[in-house]
Amino acid sequence: MSELVIMAPNSDEQPARLPRLLSGIQPTSDSYHLGNYLGAVKQWVSLQSSYEAFYCVVDLHALTLDLPAPDVLRERTRVSVAQLLAAGLDPQQCTLFLQSHVPEHTRLSWVLECMTGYGEAARMTQFKDKASRGGAEHHSVGLLTYPVLQAADILVYEADAVPVGEDQRQHLELTRTLAQRFNSRYGNTFTVPDAVIPKATAKILDLQDPSKKMSKSLGDAGTINLLDDASSLTKKIKRAVTDTDTAVRFDPEAKPGVSNLLTILGALTDRPVHDVAGDFDGQGYGALKSAVADATVAFAEPFAKRTNDLLADPAELDRILADGADRARAVASVTLAAAYERIGFLSPTEARR
């Protein structure tokens, strides 16, 4: 993980500020999975006290694959917010908000779209993967411009760092390119952000197909949903694909399924993966799977309870989001105004004169 230090003041008048962090997560399912948690959200929680942290539920991005029914989107958005709080985000320490509450994201996104080549957007691996699933007629322009809106999410906060899983590396590269392109055309405006990608848990693999990342789009059997009950979690883990050998060893090339289980166990118990592997010397895969199931249930059960307790008070969730949106807009509006001014848009006050 890249180390960041408190930034020095830019000038004599400006006080040092904590380095800024932004990340986002989609509200596209009824439960986050272990890949989301270990690849991203766990880092969000541990970084929130040492950064000025902005975390957003990217509900605009949730329309890019299909259009969920309005009540489904509302429900998933609330469940997402509740899960982030249940995972340990503290609204006193970080700013938690919804992307659709801060219009500066889409206002910047338009400008960045005009600076992105069509081919550049169409070359994004995630776009190609997702578009190939539905067929050309079935994917939206929003799916193509998804990473540009993501760039706007980040740049409008002048974020220094963006904690994400490995699958977001290419989108972060595009974000850096767009920041640099804008800065060289219009003068220094945007911070060029660094991706913060965890070493051990950057890519949690699907339990049924350990050649692919865990993702709800691959189907339910290989995905550990955090809100599943103990018995279905245990069943899924016991059915995880391993290999025909019997030795428990951390070797991601030769033994991806077993290594994935060791990674999960290490991350959930906060232990180095090689230590964890040593516990199973002379034991078979059954013992490893039982230990992974126990650790997963020990995490997921209280997590689901906290999520449900939070969902029981929707007014409090709305209050946290309203407060988050105010704090987010206070920052985003300043960056957007500077960018618009540099582009040459008349400010609304000038236009009224």
Residues pairing with 97 in the sheet: 56
* Using rule CB under 6 A, residue 209 touches ligand TYM: no
Q: Where are the alpha helices (DSSP H) in 211-347?
A: 230-238, 256-269, 273-278, 285-311, 314-343
Size of the site for ligand TYM (CB under 6 A): 26
* Candidate list 21, 47, 53, 58; residue touching ligand TYM; CB under 6 A: 58
- Please state the closest distance from residue 115 (CB atom) to ligand TYM, in A: 18
Stretch that binds ligand TYM, among 114-122, 211-219, 253-261, 301-309 (CB under 6 A): 211-219
**Minimum CB separation from ligand TYM for residue 26, in Å?**
4
Q: How many helices (H) and strands (E) does the chain have?
A: 14, 5
The yes or no reply on residue 35 touching ligand TYM (CB under 6 A) is: yes
Beta carbon nearer to ligand TYM, 143 or 317: 143
Q: Report residue 161: phi and psi, to 5°.
A: -140, 150
Q: How far apart are CA 141 and CA 204, in angstroms?
A: 29
Q: Which is nearer to ligand TYM, 86 or 204 (CB)?
A: 204
For 54-123, what is the HEC assignment?
EEEECCCHHHCCCCCCHHHHHHHHHHHHHHHHHHCCCCCCEEEEEHHHCCHHHHHHHHHHCCCCHHHHHC
Among 230, 166, 153, residue whose Cα is nearest residue 38: 166
**Does 40 interact with ligand TYM (rule: CB under 6 A)?**
yes
DSSP lists the bridge partners of residue 161 as 21, 194
Q: Report d(CA 337, CA 229) in Å as an integer.
A: 48
- Residues of this chain, 86-145, that bind ligand TYM according to CB under 6 A: none
Residue (250 or 341) nearer to ligand TYM, CB = 250
Applying CB under 6 A, the span of 196-204, 266-274, 275-283, 321-329 interacting with ligand TYM comes to: 196-204
Q: How far is the CB of 60 from ligand TYM (least distance, A)?
A: 9
Catalytic positions are: 130, 213, 216
Q: Does the footprint of ligand TYM cover residue 214 (CB under 6 A)?
A: yes
Residues of this chain that bind ligand TYM (CB under 6 A): 22-26, 35-36, 39-40, 58, 61, 150, 153-154, 162, 164-165, 167-168, 171, 202-204, 213-215
